[in-house]
Structure 1
Amino acid sequence: MKKSLIFIVGLIIAAGVVFWIMDRDNPAQEATAKPDDFEYPPTVATDLLEEQEQLEETILQESEGSTFAEPYVKLDPYNRSPLSALAIFSTEEPKQVSVTVEGETDDADISNTFEGYKKYHEIPILGLYPDAENTVHLTVTTESGETSEKTLNLETEPLPDYIPTIKVKEVQKEKMDLADTSLTFAIPSTKYPYAFDANGDIRWYGSGYNSHVLKELKNGNLLYLGKDDNSGNAYNRLFETNFIGKLFNAFKISEEAAQAESEGMESTLIHHDIAELPSGNLLLTVNDGKGNYMEDTMIEIDRKTGEVVKVIDLKALVPEEMYTDYDSTPKKDGLTDWFHQNSLVYDESDDSIIISGRNSDTVMKIDYETNEIKWILADSEGWTGKYEDLVVEGVGEDFKYPAGQHDATIMPDFDNNPDTIDLLIYDNNTVVTRGNEELSKDYSAGVQYRINEKEKTAEIIWSYGEERGEELFTNIVGSAKYMEDTGNRLLGFGHVDKGERSHIIEVTNDQEADVVFEAVMSDFPKGAWVYRGVRYELYSGEWEEKFSVK
């Protein structure tokens, strides 16, 4: 009996050891920390929303009784979008409204027709020129087709300091991917976000400083990482807003775990990117605030309340020595920046996320439910043991892994193969930890990779930038966006000449790509370079149709 008891106890202990080893070797089980483990959740900035309610009440009072002949017009109605205005008026019968801001050239007009016939009209006017007397035409049309026009003259203030000089180096408008109200948006690492037309004229900017995140949501609104005051030392507010500046939600962001990218830059807790999930919740790249590492954690928050519902710690996904032994870059305020996550995109096809880590020279796909790594696009150095089978193998003589890369985004399915996925990545081509040292820093490029997720192979389908050599090399920042209507690619070479210039370049999808647009930004302070260049429509058919002061 005694021997049997000892044998049973031994079996239990042995089984426990086996399960402990299995659990230890399955980092996916540890990657999701409890939401309560994140000590710096966003909280709703109710004071800002209440202030806006009072502002809107004033606007409604001031506009009462306005007619089409004498409309109420207010420049920058929400004090966040200086090159915008709001017109309010009533008509005796239902009418449809169109608005046109006259451009300095015939093809630079910005026009929009608002759907439906109404008697009460709140019309957002966008695309004004700075430091100018703008001519704006309002046209109303009855259901029977009769029209009337009202012309407004709206005078705007000069641009503030820190907005760069813009020079258009190349433009072929007929080949550009331009909708009727499209502008090219420059999203900075710090200072003002701004947008310009194909002539290089600024037609929109936000008066609040912005860092890294100015993202269009599915409802047409914008996520805007900003501050409560431009003079503050930290980016401590996250707004859901629109191009006229109305807030739909606002979060206070803790400054306690905020870190600066470099000396002289403001600090931030939310540092590089945000993804909108199918639920509407937001997935944020953050610092964990635990005092050892930075920029290696993600939190999912409730879209309305800011409650943290999921935490992903990347340290739990990778070999331990990848972060404990990391010494490729100096510590920042005593913190190790071993991964430096700089992009995040959700893949609806398989409920996964694709992330980029600059300092790890790695792009990887992670199953969002299980937190298991599905594949790794990186040089194999350091990815040992069970990770070896996850590293995709490069195919082709010209293949190279990205290095110090940014902005890994999903492209359409070009080959009709369910096993492959195409990514457009901005390859800085600066080896930080692993990669091809011989080619490092010779050039930077936008690169289209095709990854066979079943066979774990990858090939390069297209690239642009290598032919420009060191002229456009960027050690940090950069972006690459696919333009769906034309197949063009919009590339942001944000840190040219060690941060003295930023180039936003639109090229065709030909193997020998044709440059159809190139704008060069200069004369900006440190950090006001272009972190990402994107193309948005001022009037998208989404937000403006739902816009209301009431």
Structure 2
Amino acid sequence: MKKTLSSVALAAILVGGFTTNALAIGGPSGSHIDYAIPGKLGEVVVNPYDIAPLTAVIKSGGYTIKDVKVTIVPKKDGQTISYAVADKHIRTHGGIPVFGMYPDYQNTIEIEYTKIYKGQEEKIKETYKIYAPAIYLESTGMPNQKGPLFDKIEVVKAASGKFANRLYYVNNFVNKTGKGTKVVWNNPAGGAIEWNYTPNNFVLDTKGEVRWYLEPSKIYNLKTPMNAGVMMGFKQNPDGAMTWGYGQHYVKYDIMGREIFNRELPAQYNDFSHSMDVMDNGHYLLRVANANLKRADGRNVRTVRDVIVEVDRDGNVVDDWRLYEILDPYRDTVIKVLDQGAVCLNIDASKAGHTASADELAMMDKEEKWGDIVGVGPGRNWAHVNSVDHDPTDDSIIISSRHQNAVIKIGRDKKVKWIIGGHKGWKDQFKDKLLQPVDSKGNKIVCEDEYTKCPGYESEKGGFDWQYTQHTAFRIDSKSKPGVVYLTVFDNGDSRGFEQPAIAGMKYSRAVVFKVDEKAKTVEQVWEYGKERGAEWYSSVTSLTQYQDDLNSIFAYSAVAGMQFDIATGRPVGLPSPHINEFEWGAKEPSVEIKMTNAMGYQAFPFSVEKAFSK
């Protein structure tokens, strides 16, 4: 007679020697369990929601637990991540959420908690060993890709003091691949699907180590139009969860990867990109486009990046701002001086240094050219709004319009309140909305050429200057008050002075703080950084500047710094190397600088693990 293994013995072999509370196989057998229990609670589930591989949940094991604290023990000379966990998160995840593990590494996790069983409370400290997998990101198939997230990372200036425990959420992307380029949404032309790039999102600590990344394959598919696009507009909400959008979706997930909602855009709108901003009332402002507009000439078009829509918590449309009706979609003053080789993510090296002529713009209507192309009129990329922020003091929105070189405040009544930017080319109806530059004492600053060039334009000593092809215009809530608005802006700097320089290497970018006196209709430049860095810190596209209330600091992300093109050949002469910088309020030099090599950046910001797991 053949000898057979008992079910218990076989189970012991299958779990590889782990000690378990009870093991059974072969069907229902009462309350037994047949998986490994490595500690005093339940099983460990790594990547519990399938999109955040460097997270885990230590399940409760059926016990009631509270007063939880988690510590990720760092590598040698690494950064400790430690946080308390509110009871709601324990109930939501069925145990203790673990965030911040190192990839391809056996992490040491220390947990403290109170276990309640049979009416008795017991304070427990345990240590777990959890292997987290290596980072996986789709290959582009191109020879310049050397790593999954970036080629290398350099901590140029180490964080210390209050910045030592910072974590930075990075929103980058991978250039087009053979998988994504086969999908073209063509109804009638263009739209956000033309930006079909693999997401590349991760959290860095101040040592330059990756401590979280998004593995998007469960919610994203390059091959299907409704589930592709570029993931952009990431924000950490007041409740600690993350919101963003991509293509035809806007979403909310917690940092563990749990879906809170993932919605298609309302049917009237399409092509999300750039900005999803949460309002004080819990509504969201989305930067989208009109899915079907009947133009004055009778043509039906999809518009491009020129609509702001407000949706409530349930996804109902509360209001919209149709910028082609509010502003002048035919103002071509900026359009004609843009470097056509670097129009946000539509980077075309063959057009480096080329600008559009009046004749070229005029031919677009005749030749029926529509979609994500630089041009004028609804149906083309005339506005390119890349950020939206809400001012609760008067229920207005503040937008950054890259292709108008303008930061604009617009009321609920759809009327323009003010405009920061060069005065040239605006129609009479907007001229009293154009702000007057002043110095710190309130003295008027006189600018040249219809206020397109101010004294700081070419001065090495700095001074007031407008922003050009800017990204992000965020209100500093804690420093602003009714009638006075402080703003952070990333001044990319293409078309500075409403012209292209003689040599491409002369371009530079700035992080800027402006102060607007709404009653006096003036704007003051309070702080700037970047001009002294020159071409090294210049980002022709993307990027962000934002005030951080928790540390009274300014954060800046020069997202494609170092990427320049030779005007004669159209070839790149430098790899994009995004720079993370954070400054003490008013400081001339950063307290933190981290540089990534060969990475296409969009935006980044400090991430709060405390907020993510708090009450």
TM-score range, shorter chain: 0.7 to 0.9
Aligned to 2:57: 86
Contact 1:171–1:198 (CA<8 Å) still a contact in 2?
no
2:206 and 2:334 map into 1 onto residues whose CA distance is 48
Which is richer in strand? 1
Q: 1:365-405, CA deviations, whole angstroms, 9 ceiling, x for partnerless residues? A: 111x2111110001011123131110001124521111000
CA 1:147–1:491 in 2, change beyond 3 Å: closer, same or farther? same
Cα displacement (A) at 1:319: 3.2
CA 1:62–1:505 in 2, change beyond 3 Å: closer, same or farther? farther
Aligned to 2:398: 354
Describe the SS at the equivalent of 1:136. Answer: strand
2:335 and 2:470 map into 1 onto residues whose CA distance is 18
Aligned to 2:592: 517
Contact 1:422–1:450 (CA<8 Å) still a contact in 2?
yes
Aligned to 1:504: 580
Describe the SS at the equivalent of 2:273. Answer: strand
Contact 2:201–2:213 (CA<8 Å) still a contact in 1?
yes
Match of 2:277 among 267, 275, 279: 275
Aligned to 2:156: 170
Contact 1:507–1:515 (CA<8 Å) still a contact in 2?
yes
Contact 2:393–2:481 (CA<8 Å) still a contact in 1?
no
User: Counterparts of 1:232-311 in structure 2 under 5 Å?
Assistant: 235-253=247-265, 269-290=271-292, 291=301, 293-304=303-314, 306-311=315-320
Describe the SS at the equivalent of 1:151. Answer: strand
Choose 390-399 or 88-97, whichever is displaced more.
88-97
Aligned to 1:312: 321
2:589 and 2:152 map into 1 onto residues whose CA distance is 21
Match of 1:389 among 432, 437, 448: 432
Describe the SS at the equivalent of 2:125. Answer: strand
Match of 2:613 among 536, 544, 549: 544
Q: Which runs of 5+ in 1 are unaligned?
A: 1-60, 227-234, 259-268
Contact 1:94–1:117 (CA<8 Å) still a contact in 2?
no
Contact 1:171–1:518 (CA<8 Å) still a contact in 2?
yes
TM-score (norm 2): 0.67
Cα displacement (A) at 1:240: 1.0
2:278 and 2:37 map into 1 onto residues whose CA distance is 39
User: Counterparts of 1:373-384 in structure 2 under 5 Å?
Assistant: 373-384=416-427
Cα displacement (A) at 1:539: 3.3
Aligned to 1:99: 70
Opposite residue 308 of structure 2, the aligned amino acid is: M
Describe the SS at the equivalent of 2:403. Answer: coil
Contact 2:155–2:206 (CA<8 Å) still a contact in 1?
no
Q: Which runs of 5+ in 2 are unaligned?
A: 1-31, 138-147, 174-196, 221-229, 293-300, 341-355, 357-369, 374-378, 440-454, 456-462, 564-574
1:64 and 1:463 map into 2 onto residues whose CA distance is 58
Aligned to 1:221: 241
Cα displacement (A) at 1:311: 2.3
User: Counterparts of 1:70-469 in structure 2 under 5 Å?
Assistant: 70-90=41-61, 95-105=66-76, 108-115=79-86, 122-141=95-114, 147-161=123-137, 162-177=148-163, 182-189=166-173, 190=197, 191-208=199-216, 211-226=231-246, 235-253=247-265, 269-290=271-292, 291=301, 293-304=303-314, 306-319=315-328, 321-322=330-331, 332=371, 335-367=379-411, 369-396=412-439, 397=455, 398-412=463-477, 414=479, 418-431=482-495, 435=498, 442-469=507-534
Give the structure, 1 or 2, with the largest relative contact order (CA under 8 Å, sep 6 or more): 1
CA 1:63–1:427 in 2, change beyond 3 Å: closer, same or farther? farther
1:282 and 1:436 map into 2 onto residues whose CA distance is 36
CA 1:514–1:320 in 2, change beyond 3 Å: closer, same or farther? closer
1:509 and 1:108 map into 2 onto residues whose CA distance is 24
1:119 and 1:444 map into 2 onto residues whose CA distance is 45
Cα displacement (A) at 1:462: 0.6
Aligned to 2:144: none
Opposite residue 124 of structure 1, the aligned amino acid is: P
Query: Number of residue pairs matched?
Result: 456
Choose 492-501 or 344-353, whichever is displaced more.
492-501
Q: 1:146-199, CA deviations, whole angstroms, 9 ceiling, x for partnerless residues? A: 6322221111211123411342332343245355xx411111254221111010
CA 1:508–1:438 in 2, change beyond 3 Å: closer, same or farther? farther
Cα displacement (A) at 1:77: 0.5
Identity of aligned residues (%): 23
Describe the SS at the equivalent of 1:339. Answer: coil
Opposite residue 242 of structure 2, the aligned amino acid is: L
1:255 and 1:93 map into 2 onto residues whose CA distance is 45
Opposite residue 40 of structure 2, the aligned amino acid is: A
Describe the SS at the equivalent of 2:536. Answer: helix
Cα displacement (A) at 1:68: 5.6
2:280 and 2:509 map into 1 onto residues whose CA distance is 33
Cα displacement (A) at 1:521: 1.4
Q: 1:69-118, CA deviations, whole angstroms, 9 ceiling, x for partnerless residues? A: 14211000000101000111257676522211111146612112234699
Q: Does 1:535 align with 2:606?
A: yes
Q: 1:454-489, CA deviations, whole angstroms, 9 ceiling, x for partnerless residues? A: 111111111110110111111111101212233321
Describe the SS at the equivalent of 1:386. Answer: helix
Contact 1:74–1:85 (CA<8 Å) still a contact in 2?
yes
Contact 1:366–1:372 (CA<8 Å) still a contact in 2?
yes
Cα displacement (A) at 1:413: 5.4
Contact 2:334–2:498 (CA<8 Å) still a contact in 1?
no
CA 1:365–1:256 in 2, change beyond 3 Å: closer, same or farther? closer
Contact 1:166–1:200 (CA<8 Å) still a contact in 2?
no
